């Protein structure tokens, strides 16, 4: 682990490497390392970089509040991530570059909350260096943020009153996001003016995925269906999902056995679908089924994994589809003679951390006991297990629901409930 020094930023303790910070958000002609949730507009969760050969913590920085959302990574390696009520930028050396207090700006209920003021989503980084962040909660909005190091004013514009639980998608000047009643598109060149809105009989927590030709958007709904929308107009093309509406209503209990809420297995699709190079759309549901739909809306196949599917799927270059369940099992599914089969499964305790697949054939997930685990994509063999912990003995181990993201060859970034953002090499 690199040599670190304790420091304060806005009253928050941080640990930084003793190296010069890199400039952030330069836009430039280089592509971003990881510009959006799941890495690309097809939401494949597949990295073009190799994973760490041997996992160890390179550096860690305390961002002062739980980190639920996966970071995005700019061309120069700068990370941007929500931590509680703050949007923070961290250099590739672990130095905290800038911080935007969302509670102070009136975009969270009050200062001092962690994830209670709003539900954090991952941002999306546009080629010009503008970061678009969606926020849920009572003061829901969409933010356009200037990430350049010299910016005197971070906020470019704010679109208020947009209740969203999904990470946004940016395509050529238009921002798309799921909202409480469906999907909305924003013109980013006109300070977030809505260009279209598709109201549906469903609630959306799923992030949108885009077809390879860019003509169609796909989003999962609380009605148990995958919805295909025309990306230019928002017109609904088709909906596909369960053929039956029956479901079992179950109680979700806390550690003491108290019922917190109820859910139905009738099929809420909570996470982003993933789109393959041939246009096939893969999506998981609370009814336990992983499904594959053709671009015309026909369900090609489905496989019952016997538990709520609570992560986004990841698509391996070898054809395997990886997804995590509520009980924490990581499944790898592949198609043999036109039929889906479970290729392997691992008790990863991963639950909400959507898998990341590296270019050298490994799958990475965060776990509910605060670990980063790696598996061989080919057979599910364990390829690494890291319990990062914290250099601060007063910080208790936490859980990791965010997905790991790459920072280039041999480096991953992961955030957790203990408030630490870590670089793993």
How would you write the pLDDT of the chain (425 residues) with one tens digit per residue? 333 333 333 333 333 332 323 334 444 578 999 999 999 999 999 999 999 988 999 999 999 998 989 999 999 999 999 998 899 999 999 999 999 998 777 766 443 333 333 446 899 999 999 999 998 765 678 999 999 988 989 999 998 877 777 899 999 999 999 887 789 999 999 888 889 998 876 778 889 999 999 999 999 988 889 999 999 999 999 998 865 444 545 556 666 667 655 555 567 898 999 999 999 999 999 889 999 999 999 999 999 998 889 999 999 999 999 999 998 999 999 999 999 999 999 999 998 999 999 999 999 999 998 999 999 999 999 999 998 876 666 655 678 989 999 999 999 999 998 999 999 99
Rounded CA separation 112/58 (Å):
29
Contact status, residue 95 vs residue 89, Cβ threshold 8 Å: no
Tokens at residue 257, please? 């056995």
CA 281 to chain centre: 18
What pLDDT does 149 receive?
Answer: 87
As given in the structure block, the two tokens for residue 51 are 């994973």
d(CA 18, CA 3): 7
Q: What is the fold, at CATH topology level, of the domain defined by 4-424?
A: Methylamine Dehydrogenase; Chain H (2.130.10)
What is the Cα Rg of the chain in Å?
20
Determine the pLDDT at residue 141: 84
Cα 52 → chain centroid? 20
Joined tokens for residue 422:
């870590």
Q: Cα separation of 76 and 78, whole Å?
A: 6
Q: How far is CA 364 from CA 153, 357, 383, in A?
A: 37, 6, 9
Which of 249, 254, 294 lies closest to 267, judged by CA? 249
CA dist list (Å): 75 to 59, 61, 147, 215, 408: 20, 20, 12, 27, 10
3-state secondary structure of 189: helix
Given phi > 0 = left and psi -120 to 50 = alpha, else beta, which region is 378?
alpha
In this prediction, residue 110 carries a pLDDT of: 41
Q: How many helices (H) and strands (E) does the chain have?
A: 0, 36
Cα 222–chain centre separation: 18
């Amino acid at each position: 682990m690199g040599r670190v020094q304790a420091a304060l930023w806005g009253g928050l303790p941080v640990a930084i490497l003793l190296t010069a910070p890199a400039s952030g958000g330069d836009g430039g002609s280089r592509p971003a390392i990881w510009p959006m949730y799941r890495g690309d507009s097809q939401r494949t969760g597949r990295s073009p970089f190799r994973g760490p050969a041997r996992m160890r913590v390179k550096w860690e920085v305390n961002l002062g509040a739980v980190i639920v959302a996966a970071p995005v990574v700019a061309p120069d390696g700068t990370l941007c991530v929500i931590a509680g009520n703050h949007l923070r930028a961290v250099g590739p050396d672990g130095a905290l570059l800038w911080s935007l207090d969302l509670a102070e700006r009136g975009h969270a209920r009050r200062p001092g909350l962690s994830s209670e003021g709003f539900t954090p989503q991952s941002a999306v980084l546009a080629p010009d260096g503008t970061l678009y962040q969606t926020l849920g909660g009572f003061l829901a909005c969409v933010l356009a943020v200037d990430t350049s190091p010299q910016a005197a004013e971070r906020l470019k514009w704010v679109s208020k009153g947009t209740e969203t639980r999904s990470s946004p998608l940016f395509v050529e000047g238009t921002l798309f996001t799921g909202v409480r009643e469906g999907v909305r598109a924003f013109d980013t060149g006109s300070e977030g003016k809505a260009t279209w809105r598709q109201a549906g009989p469903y609630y959306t927590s799923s992030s949108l995925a885009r077809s390879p030709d860019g003509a169609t958007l796909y989003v999962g709904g609380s009605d148990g269906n995958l919805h295909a929308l025309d990306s230019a107009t928002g017109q609904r093309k088709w909906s596909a999902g369960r053929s039956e509406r029956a479901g079992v209503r179950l109680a979700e209990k806390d550690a003491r056995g108290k019922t917190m809420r109820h859910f139905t297995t009738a099929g809420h699709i909570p996470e982003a679908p993933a789109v393959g190079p041939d246009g096939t759309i893969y999506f998981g549901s609370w009814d336990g089924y992983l499904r594959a739909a053709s671009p015309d809306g026909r369900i090609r196949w489905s496989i019952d994994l016997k538990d709520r599917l609570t992560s986004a799927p990841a698509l391996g270059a070898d054809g395997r589809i990886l997804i995590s369940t509520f009980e924490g099992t990581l499944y790898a599914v592949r198609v043999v003679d036109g039929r889906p089969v479970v290729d392997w499964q691992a008790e990863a305790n991963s639950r909400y951390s959507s898998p990341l697949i590296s270019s050298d054939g490994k799958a990475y997930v965060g776990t509910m006991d605060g670990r980063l685990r790696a598996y061989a994509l080919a057979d599910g063999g364990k390829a690494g297990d890291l319990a990062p912990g914290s250099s601060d003995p007063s910080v208790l181990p936490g859980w990791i629901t965010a997905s790991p993201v790459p920072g280039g060859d041999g480096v991953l970034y992961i955030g957790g409930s203990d408030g630490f953002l870590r670089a793993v090499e």
